[in-house]
Amino acid sequence: MSVAGELTTTAATDRINVDLGERSYDIIVGDGLLVTAGRRLRPLLTQPRVVIVTDETVARLHLDPLHAALAAAEICHATVVLPAGEGTKDFTHLAGLCERVLESEIERGTMLVALGGGVIGDITGFAAGILLRGLDFIQIPTTLLAQVDSSVGGKTGINSRHGKNLVGLFHQPRLVLADIGTLSTLDPRHVRAGYAEVVKYGLLGDPAFFGWLEENAGKVLALDAAALRQAVAVSCRAKAAVVRADERESGARALLNLGHTFGHALEAEMGFCDALLHGEAVAVGMALAFDFSARLGLAPAGDAAAVRRHLARAGLPTDLSLLAGRTTSADALIAHMRSDKKVKDGRLTFILVRGIGAAFVCREVDESDLRSFLADALARGQAGRPA
Ligand code: NAD
Ligand code: GLY
């Protein structure tokens, strides 16, 4: 993976440009950025009005400083507060959000501001994409997962009863303000889940970053400002490079789905519930992707073991013991994989590896190899044994 996004480091911030021609934008990473939001936003506005969209938890913790920053920059603002949680990413809340935004007498020049985690970013971006046939929006992500993944790249949308993220569009934000200071209120489990997505960038294309994480995981997870900023900035730079090369996922962007085919099957089997956060499913999925690659003779077994060790030390799940006590079969997991939107021409898509930092897209997986691998992984999970 080539690192093509521009990264400019100053004393206080990292600025990464997502180079997409007329849809280009900056990601700014730093501590305490929320209070600077007004002056950073001002040059992007054609009229000094924004509508903030957030959730109840984030509103309680982080809305006041944003209101103050906008007021200081003489930007009028309305605010829509949605319930917290994945359940908000549905048609009912989307309709309610659109009506509430329209009530505030928006014009084409009104900007939406998504303040929150991936749920708020995804639904707000989608609403921005369809209101008045397209409003601008910016992302102020407040979870680690949103700062390193969902706020960047323009995938927006909601869930349907047929599955996750099945209704949406590509709509790039005009700016991403990743204030690592907002993560201080995040509960440790969500920090760990977001960390899985950080590790993903090392595993898919940047072995030196994985090496750095081996040294610095403790600091990142403890929210040490310097380490956290470095982890977020490197992750965003990696994502910016992939998105620049393949904005609409016709090729290389699929690499960002490392761990997701296995992870999606696990989430689906668990019923997309809080017992398994998305980042936790990705951690298990990445460990399985490395194990499967090793079993197919594609990657060294030592790399698979190193990945599992790293994720486990970070407090993340790495095997199928979560399914212990259930009657899950390999065929049931494969059926979930088939219902994923990553299926192409009826073929399952896997991101496999040749080692740490060397992921590739594979659509040639032999289903009997997959079935026996999953059956063994399930048996080990039932027995509570690691790989
Ligand atoms: P989330 O938005 O539900 O946030 C998790 C929880 O943390 C929520 O309860 C929220 O209220 C709370 N929270 C947010 N910021 C906080 C803070 N600073 N302090 C305390 N609590 C805070 O979930 P998430 O993990 O951020 O994102 C998951 C969503 O992102 C999923 O819907 C997933 O599909 C989506 N996603 C999208 C993309 C993309 O490219 N668009 C990529 C990955 C994931
Ligand atoms: N999170 C995967 C992507 O943005 O493509």
Rg value, the chain, Cα: 20
C-beta of 264 in contact with ligand 2 (< 6 A): no
Contacts of 89 (CB under 8 A, 6+ apart): 119, 122, 123, 157, 158, 159, 165
What's the CATH number where 262 sits?
Answer: 1.20.1090.10
Between the alpha carbon of residue 168 and those of residues 124, 193, 365, the distances in Å are: 11, 24, 29
Site to substitute for ligand 2 among 1, 239, 282, most atoms within 8 A of C-beta: 239
pLDDT tens track, the chain, 387 positions: 444 445 565 558 999 999 999 999 999 999 999 999 999 999 999 999 999 999 999 999 999 999 999 999 999 999 999 999 999 999 999 999 999 999 998 888 999 999 999 999 999 999 999 999 999 999 999 999 999 999 999 999 999 888 889 999 999 999 999 999 999 999 999 999 999 999 999 999 999 999 999 999 999 999 999 999 999 999 999 999 999 999 999 899 999 999 999 999 999 898 878 889 999 999 999 999 999 999 999 999 999 999 999 999 999 999 999 888 888 999 999 999 988 767 777 788 899 999 999 999 999 999 999 999 999 999 998 776 656
- Retrieve residue 152's tokens: 């960047």
Would you say residue 253 lies in a domain? no
Mutate to test the pocket of ligand 1, among 150, 180, 280 (most ligand atoms within 8 A of CB): 150
350/83 Cα distance (integer angstroms): 34
Residues 6+ apart with CB under 8 A from 227: 216, 219, 220
End position of a domain, from candidates 228, 248, 268: 248
Atom of ligand 1 nearest to the CA of 56: 11
- Tally of structural domains, the chain: 2
264 is catalytic: yes
In a shared domain, residues 13 and 85: yes
The finding on whether 285 has its CB within 6 A of some atom of ligand 2 is no
CA of 142 to the centre of ligand 1 (A): 8
111 falls within a domain: yes
Q: How far apart are CA 265 and CA 277, in angstroms?
A: 13
Do 95 and 205 sit in the same domain of this protein? yes
Domain's final residue, options 248, 279, 305: 248
362: domain range?
258-387
Within this chain, do residues 82 and 186 fall inside the same structural domain, yes or no?
yes
Report if residue 335 sits inside a domain: yes
Which residues face 124 on adjacent strands?
Answer: none
**Does one domain contain both 220 and 285?**
no
Q: How far apart are CA 94 and CA 157, in angstroms?
A: 9
- Dump the DSSP string for 93-143: HHHHHHHHHHHT---TTPEEEEEESHHHHHHHHHHHHHGGG---EEEEE-S
Domain co-membership, 292 together with 234: no
One of 253, 308, 310, 342 is an active-site residue; which one? 253
- Residue 206, SS3 per DSSP: coil
Clarify whether residues 175 and 75 are in a common domain.
Answer: yes
Q: Is 301 a member of any domain?
A: yes
Side chain identity at residue 25, one-letter code: Y
Q: Are residues 100 and 236 in the same domain?
A: yes
Tell me, yes or no, whether 276 and 204 share the same domain: no
**Structure tokens given for 330:** 């390999």
Q: Coil, strand, or helix at residue 31?
A: coil
| Any atom of ligand 1 within 6 Å of the Cβ of 257 | no
Residue 369, Cβ neighbours under 10 Å: how many?
A: 12
Atom 4 (ligand 1) nearest CA: 117
Structure confidence by residue, pLDDT tens digits, 281-332: 999 999 999 999 999 999 999 999 999 999 999 999 999 998 888 889 999 9
